[in-house]
Amino acid sequence: MSRSRDIAQILGATEAANTGSLRLLAQNEGTDSAQVIGIIDSNYIANRSAPGVEVISAANVLPNASDNEGTIYYAQNQNRFYFSNGINWFKNELTNEDPTITVTPQGTISLAKDGVTTTTFIITGNDSTNPLTFTVDSDGDFSGLASGTLTQANDSARFVVTPKAQGSATTTTTRLTFNVNDGVAISSISRDLKLNFGTAGQNADGSFAPQWNSPTFNFKLHNTPAGQGTNKESFHRLKKNKAPGYIEFISGAPFSQSSNGYSNYGSIELHTWDDNSRNWNGLWHRPSLGNGNWQCGAAVAIGGDYFAMTTDNRPSHTLRIGKVEGAYPNRTLLNTATNYQLNTYVQSTFGSLPTSSINNDMDQIGEMDTDKTGTYWVLGDPYWYSNSLSYAGALICFSRTGTGTTWNPAVQQVIECPDVVQSSKFGMSVSVSSDGNWMAATSASYGSTVPRTNIRTGACYVYKRVGVYGDMWEYQQKLWPVNSGSNASKFISGNGNAFSQSMTVSMDSDAETIAWSIPTLRPTTGMYPPGSNSNQFAVNADANQNPGNNLYTGGVQIWKRDSDGATGSDAYSLFQELYPDSAGNRSGVENRYFGISLDVSADGNTIIVGAPYGSAESADGTEIRAGAGQIYIYNLDSAQYSLTNIIQGDVTNTGMAGGGTSGSSSSVGNFNGALIMDNNVIVATANNYNYSTGGNDGFNWFDSGS
């Protein structure tokens, strides 16, 4: 860098030996040419012992070096100093080391007035050596302004802004100023924004923001072909295809019955959106495997045109892979190849094979997920024994090799839980980012293992794909409720009984946002402080008394990565915690299990949370139907995610009330699984035995109409 010691050497002195009392550059002064010349012309170095500095317009007007020994010239056209030793001219370049900044998008952005719609700016800073700090300033019409650190070259940070309500805005235009600072100099860029009060309900780019005040309530049956048995059991899991532009999801029904009457045979379905009809086209697949109890589709995932499904409660078949025939959106066939014995591959990779789902009982399997191209796959095995501790859990990580229906699952890694605890069931839920660089998995771990605490808080463990071949996952950070510090949680209770187990994790396309849930969270005084309508429930739970201690309200933690380049144990910070505004309703205690289903939109701006046993209520809070199910919809503004709508389960059909156990063959609570699709449609499991006709189940979907 051309800092003060470099300039001093040119002028005939050093910082270490400045006998001539030269005036050197101060710490916070820049070193570009204009500042150096300003110092020279201001006679700040008038007492120097070295010869003077003369300014010339260009290097081609330099005089003879032999006649100017010891002379320094500054050539303006080249931003260089020239020094003569009496024989030759020696040059020294001044490099402008001020940091650079770029901000996207460019131009003037129009924003709505409602305080919910947002626009996102990406700030990218670069400097040769120093980490940069960034700040955002405003002239008064925006809230939630930010600051942070960019840790490496070309690192970037996301900044989301939203206008205040119309009555609070002072102007119809506003200016945001983005700054990066390397400790010596500051570089800034401004963006003008227009507060368009006539376009409520519009996003910053002018596209329509969907509203869910009165969504169209639709139901679609399973696609079981005639003569192929029945689907009287619920969809087990929903997984969406993350390929850009693909609006489709895959689901498994592992407890469905075959045409021969075999129970728990299982099947899978792929549903693809038709934007013209605003409806779904479906494909159905059931492998031909023999008798019942195969539970096909207990775990299933899709990425691009590639899919995989678990197939057996015996270790001889464990995984079946395949490819979707027909270019999107004109899908024609779920084409599968052979079954793979994962236990053989895992034993070769891991060196041994303990009691586990893949070796003993596949009906204990967790979730599976993959990236947008179906290249990197993660399968949770909550049944895995670690250090002889049962149900500790592990992740089976494999990649796709080859194309077509004959691609192979190459197992690269087996990851055991960083906190090995009996019955933690690590891998019950897993999520892989669309770009395939990040992965997260839940566990019912204790808050601390060394020393052991009595609080089983649950946790979400984050991994990043690294390595020479890019196919290994490296542990980064544990996301979990703690009772102090910058990530202090409202979910900590006095007696440690607030938690039972964690459930679901979801992330946006590049894992900037990770959300994970604790559906069995009991009310705490942090959630419901004195004066709130549910404080007594929380006080009772703290005292290990009922009603309160037997009340499963549920909660969700949202974590944000501090910058695009952030990694390691402090890459993420707790952004917000979501939970119902009341632990009960007018009828009293209500086990909502808020967070059994959870999904983050690809852009991170929308989060939906399912509460399968929440009651449908009228506008005044009167209960219409217990256990009808609810979907909470949150949208991001500049400061937090705000609850914008609640979709309530059907109140007219008799089979929809909550009951049974979520994620099992007796699961009839509604909305156990839910996804927010990028076409303003929400899909959710309709675990509603005897819904409408013939005892067949299916899924609900809600169209915003946009």
- Encoded tokens for 456: 């089983």
**Would you state the pLDDT for residue 223?**
67
Alpha helices in 512-578 (DSSP H): 535-542
Higher pLDDT, 258 or 70: 70
For the chain, the average pLDDT equals 74
Is residue 37 pLDDT above 50, yes or no? no
Domain boundary among 39, 73, 93: 93
The pTM of the full predicted model, rounded to 2 decimals, is 0.71
Is residue 40 pLDDT above 70, yes or no? no
Residue 616 lies in a domain: no
Higher pLDDT, 612 or 504: 504
Is residue 350 pLDDT above 70, yes or no? yes
**Would you state the pLDDT for residue 236?**
64
* 104 and 177 assigned to the same domain: yes
* 37 and 52 assigned to the same domain: yes
Domain boundary among 195, 216, 237: 195
Alpha helices in 173-311 (DSSP H): none
**Would you state the pLDDT for residue 129?**
58
* 162 and 179 assigned to the same domain: yes
Residue 490 lies in a domain: no
**Would you state the pLDDT for residue 596?**
85
Residue 693 pLDDT level (bands cut at 50, 70, 90): very low
Residue 664 lies in a domain: no
Provide φ and ψ at 36, rounded to 5°.
Answer: -65, -45
Write the CATH number for 106.
2.60.40.10
Measured CA to CA, the distance from residue 431 to residue 464 in angstroms comes to: 12
Measured CA to CA, the distance from residue 583 to residue 84 in angstroms comes to: 82
* 85 and 110 assigned to the same domain: no
Q: How far apart are the first and last CA of the chain?
A: 54
Measured CA to CA, the distance from residue 499 to residue 680 in angstroms comes to: 33
Query: Which SS3 state, helix, strand or coil, does residue 12 take?
Result: coil
Contact in structure between 178 and 190 (CB atoms under 8 Å): yes
Is residue 221 pLDDT above 90, yes or no? no
Q: What is the pLDDT of residues 539-576, one digit of tens each?
A: 888 888 888 888 888 999 999 998 878 888 889 999 99
Q: Residue 165 sits in which domain range?
A: 100-195
Q: What is the pLDDT of residues 439-494, one digit of tens each?
A: 999 988 765 444 445 566 789 999 999 865 567 999 999 999 888 888 889 988 76
- Dihedral (CA of 540, 545, 551, 557) sign: positive
Residues written for the chain: 706
Q: What is the pLDDT of residues 68-96, one digit of tens each?
A: 888 888 877 766 778 888 888 877 655 54
Q: Which of 148-162, 383-397, 601-615 has the lowest mean pLDDT?
A: 148-162
Contact in structure between 511 and 371 (CB atoms under 8 Å): no
Helix (H) or strand (E) holding 7: helix 4-10
Q: Which of 268-272, 379-383, 448-452, 530-534 has the lowest mean pLDDT?
A: 448-452
Contact in structure between 498 and 492 (CB atoms under 8 Å): yes
Query: Which SS3 state, helix, strand or coil, does residue 248 take?
Result: strand
Is residue 691 pLDDT above 70, yes or no? no
**Would you state the pLDDT for residue 155?**
63
**Would you state the pLDDT for residue 76?**
75
Q: Which of 104-108, 226-230, 352-356, 524-528 has the lowest mean pLDDT?
A: 226-230
Q: Tell me the range of 464-478, 494-508, 662-676 where mean pLDDT is highest.
A: 464-478
Please give the average per-residue pLDDT across 233-248, as a whole number: 82
Measured CA to CA, the distance from residue 618 to residue 610 in angstroms comes to: 18
Is residue 101 pLDDT above 50, yes or no? yes
Residue 347 pLDDT level (bands cut at 50, 70, 90): confident
Is residue 17 pLDDT above 60, yes or no? no
Residue 264 lies in a domain: no
* 106 and 159 assigned to the same domain: yes
Give 295: exposed, middle or buried? Use CB within 10 Å, 0-12, 13-18, 19+. Answer: buried
Residue 362 lies in a domain: no
Q: Which of 57-66, 119-128, 180-189 has the lowest mean pLDDT?
A: 119-128
Domain boundary among 195, 210, 232: 195
Residue 502 pLDDT level (bands cut at 50, 70, 90): low
Q: How many CB atoms lie within 10 A of CB 220?
A: 16
* 82 and 114 assigned to the same domain: no
Is residue 324 pLDDT above 70, yes or no? yes
DSSP string, 88-122: -EEEEE------EEEEES-S-EEE-SSSS--EEEE
Please give the average per-residue pLDDT across 116-145, as a whole number: 67
* 111 and 187 assigned to the same domain: yes
Q: Determine if residue 338 is left, alpha or beta; phi over 0 gives left, psi from -120 to 50 gives alpha, anything else beta.
A: beta
Please give the average per-residue pLDDT across 332-356, as a whole number: 82
What is the number of domains present in the chain?
A: 2
Residue 567 lies in a domain: no
Residue 606 lies in a domain: no
Residue 633 lies in a domain: no
Is residue 332 pLDDT above 60, yes or no? yes
Q: Which residues of 606-625 are buried (b: 16+ CB within 10 A; e: fewer)?
A: bbbbbbbbbbbbeeeeeeeb
